[in-house]
Amino acid sequence: MSRRVRLVHLDEDSDEDNNIRRSASGPPGSHPTDFNIPLTDDSSDPADPAFRTARPPKKEPSQYESLDYDVCENVLWRRDQTKIEPKFTVRKDFARWVISFQIGVCTALVACCINIAIEEVSRVKYGFLKQQVDRNVIHGDLSIPYLYWALTNLVPVVIGSTLVAYVEPVAAGSGIPQVKCYLNGVKVPRIVRIKTLAVKAVGVATSVIGGLAGGKEGPMIHSGAVIAAGISQGKSTTFRRDLKVLQYFRDDHEKRDFVVGGAAAGVAAAFGAPIGGTLFSLEEAASFWNQALIWRTFFASIISSFTLNIILSAYHGLSSFRYRGLFNLGEFEPLPFDYFELPIFMLMGVVGGCSGALWNAVNRRLNMFRAHAIRPRWAKVLEAAFVAVIGATFACLMAYTINDCRPLGNDPTEHPVQLFCQDNEYNAAAALWFQTPEATVKALFHDPPGSHQLLTLIVFVAIYYPLSCVTYGLSVSLGIFIPTLLIGAAWGRLTGTLIIMGFPASSAFVSPGKYALIGAAAQLGGVVRMTLSLSVIILETTGNIGFILPIILTLMAAKWSGDYFNEGIYDSQIRMSRVPMLPWHVEPEFQQLSARSIMAQPVVCVRVEEKVQYLLDILKNTTHNGFPVVEDGDDVSVRDSGDDDDDDDDVHKTLGYYRSVIGSRVNGRVIGLILRSQLVVILKRSFYQESSRFWESTVNIEAFRDEYPRYPAVGDLHVSEDKLSGDFTVNMSIFMNPSPHSVEEGTSVPRLFQLFRALGLRHLIVVSVENRVRGIITRKDFLKHL
């Protein structure tokens, strides 16, 4: 172990430019299992980054790797391609459509289950609480209902939080940042496992039932992604089952393409926004716009929205088909607007942008503090429980103190509580809390003008704003859309009401509902800062195309003003967790550099015919994931590296070893690239030879697909001693990617970046004019903060 550590250290010492090849060593201090708590963790010793790459996570892996989106077109792959009949190509294509269909259906099913569970339990919960309030308010004593409320919040939240903290921490939060990273090409560990889905689903249901300030929409996108990954692979690690189907989809490229569809289906299910979902996925996946992929993604979205609509409509008695998504804003009557309102809307956008930026900043600080202060799992559960009780407390206080009485009849809630109001009246302040947040958003949009006192709205925003800010980042699964919309809708409605009060003549066209919608869009735009896709999602959710101009202007104003202060919440989360997600543009500091100045070197290369001993050696002693294959040059003697757990402490000897072994190969001309995962499989399956090529007929691409995606660890490889000491070699020529992308060392970084981003690369070899290896560039080399 110590030598590996030293290797990394040595590199750092020996290179003035700090351009050390650290592609696989990962960001020290990152802790990928909990997206929100990245800064420190006991297990993330910065001096211990090695040997985690291709090992199944016995303990938590501490780094993010790139997906191999670039197809490795090696001899095996080509053989597989030529072997297949045209019929098979058709079948494969057909299978893609069938899988897309299944993704749509399953995503909708999961969404329906979560939705129905939340709805039913919430109905019982709030019915019971109303009963308690009605019974106890007579004595003026609200402590009993308060205790019940706190308890009914506490129990589900503790269940959900325990699940997340102990079973699958990656299921915390909305999952959108993780999905964004995955689509960007980063392998976030365990993000698309079935176990994660299970925890997520239960976690979301319990959080919403527990009355936390969160929604179920964001997690649906994550759920869709997991479902897509699961269905497309035909096997599950969680259940240790391999259905032996769809083996041809077992690579990162195909899998990510399905996940694109899954995420879109998730958005479609959550918001009834198939077009918005497709745009979201495409925007995040960000590679080459592939028409067939777009169609399949769109198809999955449509099917998802459609299935959800049928199931929920059937569940609600088939009276009408209007459940396009889990969340819809209800039917707006046509929303006319006058052009002189547009500046008001844009001003509201600016307010939303600033308010969103503040929210993001506070949330970021809070989560940084949390990462330091709240580290044991039980503390996380305790924290969530505490926030749940706080929520109930504030809700009770607000209902208790504000006497906003409205006549019964046009009730905005299923459980109007009377509290201290007259008979035939209900308390409008309590009504905001006596239902799920989704229902409250709808109420704010659609309640007739004058349904709430100004004070009610002000206090509500004042409570909900910090509450939601504290909630996002807890060890629970929930999304951020609904609380954000809720805050925005409340202050938007407030604005509308104020305008009517200030200019009574304006009541002809100013409706509080319209301003609630604009406020919601502004706040959401200020927090998430998504672009085109968010406009389309809101548009589809509103169902009112005539209102597109106000919404878009509001969103643009919100984005621009928010961007002045900081970045969107998802991007900020991603940056905090140190995931190497590639941005849209190369960072300004890198604008004037060339490949030479960001590449990592020296590069560990392998020759076409390479000794087994050497391969085992570099796998064990480096953490790199890709090795350029070079032409046979001079024959250099490989130093005998001895045993694996040889605790040789001589730093200089190790450095000498490193240099001598690597350096001799660097002079060869690049003719290919081989991945760590491939080498591991080659060694495991003994695809090496002394002189005869006895195994060549038996090796095929299936051997590699069978191991995907969790390749064995180097330590688990058992290569017999005689194979090591003998002259057994591996012939790379049929395994390596024969046409890796390479660039000349003078190429500018923006140019490299474009290549990297557009093709979804993992490794980019930097070569000299003579095509000799000079360095290698990976995703992390573009990010200054890593």
Buried b (16+ CB within 10 A) or exposed e, 119-143: bebbeebbeebbebbeebbeeeebe
Q: Between 461 and 701, whose beta carbon lies closer to a copy of itself?
A: 701
- Do residues 311 and 113 touch, judged by C-beta distance below 8 A? no
Residues 735-754 that bind a copy of itself (CB under 8 A): 738-739, 741, 743-744, 746-748, 751, 754
Q: Return d(Cα 689, Cα 730) in angstroms, integer.
A: 6
The contact mask relative to a copy of itself for 487-526 (x = CB under 8 A, - = no) is ----------------------------------------
Here the tokens at position 668 are 């060869």
Handedness of CA 85, 86, 89, 95 (dihedral sign): negative
3-class SS of residue 725: helix
What 8-state DSSP symbol labels residue 626?
Answer: E
Distance in Å, CB of 17 to a copy of itself, minimum: 20
Instruction: Give φ, ψ of 775 to 5 degrees.
Output: -175, -175
Contacting residue, 8, 112, 260, 302, with a copy of itself by CB under 8 A: 302
Contacting residue, 287, 413, 475, 729, with a copy of itself by CB under 8 A: 287
Residues 58-77 that bind a copy of itself (CB under 8 A): 71, 73
Distance in Å, CB of 141 to a copy of itself, minimum: 48
Instruction: Please state whether beta strands 606-607 and 626-630 pair in parallel, antiparallel, or not at all (unpaired).
Output: parallel
Q: Between 594 and 778, whose beta carbon lies closer to a copy of itself?
A: 594
Distance in Å, CB of 145 to a copy of itself, minimum: 40
Tell whether residue 671 is a contact of a copy of itself (CB under 8 A): yes
Q: Between 223 and 535, whose beta carbon lies closer to a copy of itself?
A: 535
**Which long-range contacts link 116-123 to residues 24+ away (Cβ below 8 Å)?**
116/312, 116/315, 117/205, 117/209, 118/205, 118/208, 118/209, 118/216, 118/436, 119/436, 121/156, 121/205, 121/209, 122/208, 122/209, 122/435, 122/436, 123/414
Distance in Å, CB of 163 to a copy of itself, minimum: 36
Among 232, 219, 218, smallest CA distance to 260 is for 232
Distance in Å, CB of 349 to a copy of itself, minimum: 13
Tell whether residue 289 is a contact of a copy of itself (CB under 8 A): yes
Tell whether residue 306 is a contact of a copy of itself (CB under 8 A): yes
Contacting residue, 299, 426, 687, 688, with a copy of itself by CB under 8 A: 299
Q: Between 466 and 583, whose beta carbon lies closer to a copy of itself?
A: 583
- Do residues 257 and 249 touch, judged by C-beta distance below 8 A? no
Q: Between 422 and 592, whose beta carbon lies closer to a copy of itself?
A: 592
Tell whether residue 536 is a contact of a copy of itself (CB under 8 A): yes
Contacting residue, 1, 292, 501, 636, with a copy of itself by CB under 8 A: 292
User: Omega into 709 within 30° of 0, i.e. cis?
Assistant: yes
Distance in Å, CB of 770 to a copy of itself, minimum: 6
Task: Using alpha carbons, list the distances in angstroms from residue 92 to 84, 249, 375, 722.
Answer: 10, 9, 47, 43
**Sequence-ordered alpha helix ranges (H) in 171-211:** 176-184, 194-209
Q: Return d(Cα 670, Cα 588) in angstroms, integer.
A: 31
Residues 308-367 that bind a copy of itself (CB under 8 A): 309-310, 321-322, 324, 338-339
Q: Return d(Cα 684, Cα 711) in angstroms, integer.
A: 10
Q: Between 721 and 770, whose beta carbon lies closer to a copy of itself?
A: 770
Q: Between 115 and 544, whose beta carbon lies closer to a copy of itself?
A: 544
For residue 765, the surrounding DSSP H or E stretch is: strand 763-767
The contact mask relative to a copy of itself for 760-779 (x = CB under 8 A, - = no) is -------x-xxx--------
User: Omega into 602 within 30° of 0, i.e. cis?
Assistant: yes
Instruction: Give φ, ψ of 611 to 5 degrees.
Output: -75, 145
Distance in Å, CB of 748 to a copy of itself, minimum: 5
Distance in Å, CB of 675 to a copy of itself, minimum: 17
Distance in Å, CB of 51 to a copy of itself, minimum: 32
Here the tokens at position 375 are 């580290």
- Do residues 226 and 219 touch, judged by C-beta distance below 8 A? no
Q: Between 215 and 274, whose beta carbon lies closer to a copy of itself?
A: 274
Tell whether residue 784 is a contact of a copy of itself (CB under 8 A): no
**Sequence-ordered alpha helix ranges (H) in 648-692:** 651-666, 676-684
Q: Between 66 and 544, whose beta carbon lies closer to a copy of itself?
A: 544
Residues touching a copy of itself: how many (CB under 8 A)? 73
Residues 610-639 that bind a copy of itself (CB under 8 A): 631
Q: Between 469 and 537, whose beta carbon lies closer to a copy of itself?
A: 537
DSSP secondary structure of 378-426: HHHHHHHHHHHHHHHHHHHHHHHH---EEESSS-SSSS---TTSPTTEE
Residues 538-597 that bind a copy of itself (CB under 8 A): 539-540, 542-546, 548-549, 552-553, 556, 584-585, 591-592
Give Dmax (Cα) for the chain.
Answer: 97
Beta-carbon count within 10 A of 436 CB? 21
The contact mask relative to a copy of itself for 72-101 (x = CB under 8 A, - = no) is -x----x--xx-------------------
Distance in Å, CB of 778 to a copy of itself, minimum: 19
Contacting residue, 66, 535, 554, 601, with a copy of itself by CB under 8 A: 535
